[in-house]
Structure 1
Amino acid sequence: MTVSLRYCHITVNDPDESLAFYRDALGLELRNDVGSGGMRWVTLGSPDQPELEIVLSAPSAGRSQADADALQELLTKGVLSMVVFGTDDVDALFEKVRASGAEVLQEPMDQAWGPRDCAFRDPSGNMVRINQTPKA
């Protein structure tokens, strides 16, 4: 039996603004842009992982107003769970993302626990880390 991650949901304020970050700066491909009943979500992914989709949606997507308000408050504070991407060249991807104007939280550095990584905030304030597995 195998278990694998299929979807990763990221709550964002504005799917269009976030699309520019995740597609244009990080290089993910747009897979779907869905509007239904006043809700909208966008799915993206990497050509290297066709089975994994990243879903961008607003706090109000499919939630009660009270839940949307609570989620919006956490998003505004920047305390929602981070997302971590992997790459084979963290320094090159760092420069590409920085050139997009994204807020840099940490420049590339070698971590004591193994990877070389960096960190940004997406347009909604989510922490996005990018790491590179050390070469053997």
Structure 2
Amino acid sequence: MIRIATAQLWVHDQDEALAFYTQKLGFEVRVDVTMPEMGNFRWVTVGPAGQPDIDIVLMAIPGAPMIDEQTGRQIRDLMAKGLAGTVFLTTEDCRASYEELRARGVEFTEAPEERPYGIDSGFRDPSGNSLRLTQIVGDLAAL
């Protein structure tokens, strides 16, 4: 059986991203290693406490020879628009989680709103990545 182990988000600053995901969202650090033999490449993963089977890689945008300057600029432009990818988070009480995260300093782009599938809100991380916080209701909650 094939399973998802990790998903990747591009980040401008791994330390800033790590602080956001751990201190503001309450995620735990899974891996944080620097490999000198690979030019000090740093592999950082985080994930929600109690959900050990999936990690989010906080990947710094590499330079040459992996990514040329134009491609790096394109990635940064997409990130600034919130279009480089989205992480969908679920919660049992979207409004309560919204208030808790706001109290920790998370700046939301969308307050919780009723949708056909539940209650949904949106925010971005310090690099501009889009995150959705959703409370699924009705038939979809049973999936």
Equivalent of 1:115, from 118, 132, 135? 118
Give structure 1 stretches of 5+ with no counterpart.
Answer: none
2:54 paired with 1:58:
no
Amino acid at match of 1:123: P
2:20 alignment partner in structure 1: 21
Contact 2:123–2:130 (CA under 8 A) maintained in structure 1? yes
Give structure 2 stretches of 5+ with no counterpart.
Answer: none
Q: How many residues align?
A: 134
Shift in Å, 1:128: 0.7
Q: What is the distance in 2 between the residues matched to 1:129 and 1:56?
A: 17
Equivalent of 2:94, from 90, 93, 97? 90
2:47 paired with 1:48:
no
TM-score normalised per structure 2: 0.81
Q: Which has the larger radius of gyration?
A: 2
1:128 alignment partner in structure 2: 131
Identity level (%): 37
Shift in Å, 1:105: 1.0
Residues 78-113 of structure 1: CA deviation (Å, up to 9, x unaligned): 32111111122222221122123222111112212x
Contact 1:102–1:123 (CA under 8 A) maintained in structure 2? no
Q: What is the distance in 2 between the residues matched to 1:125 and 1:20?
A: 15
